[in-house]
Structure 1
Amino acid sequence: MPDWLAQVPYFLVMSALAAGIVVVAAAYFKRGPAIIACALLLAAAFRLFLPKDWIGMLAVRRRWIDLTTLVGMAVLLIVLAWVAPQLSA
């Protein structure tokens, strides 16, 4: 497999994170964190199911530490999206 192909999962996760940040910047404080949480869960799924040589820069630490961190942050962002007040224009 070419080396650049291992970075595709990382690129997908970073693209989803960027989309979530753009949504937050557009003042959608419930949807943005939810999109970012989905991106983190996508990263956790990649980390769980893909071999180490296929996930590129998503492999930072040991697998269980990466999974715990990613899922924990995703859960916290989902809670944040749930309790954030809905802003009315």
Structure 2
Amino acid sequence: MRLDKFLKVSRLIKRRTLAKEVADQGRIQLNGQVAKASTEVKVGDELQIRFGNKLVTVVIDSIAEHARKEDAKEMYRLLKEEKMDGSINS
């Protein structure tokens, strides 16, 4: 599944267009490498997403074409969520 679609279906990012923008800005890493929106993701992959001054790291547990809101959180496991130093310019 494409990275931007996974982010939308799992509700890590609310809209696919926003997920594409975030990926195009180089703010998403897949297994330690900067990922594009079209990058294919699979179960076991580790994602790091930079949201403003927050860095969220998750592992993909399952992939589904569609997920209800209640089931979306089961698609990934949160490893860590950390605040980044405010001195870094984004």
When normalised by structure 2's length, the TM-score is 0.28
The structure with the largest strand share of the pair is 2
The structure with the largest helix share of the pair is 1
More relative contact order, 1 or 2 (CA 8 Å, 6+ apart): 1
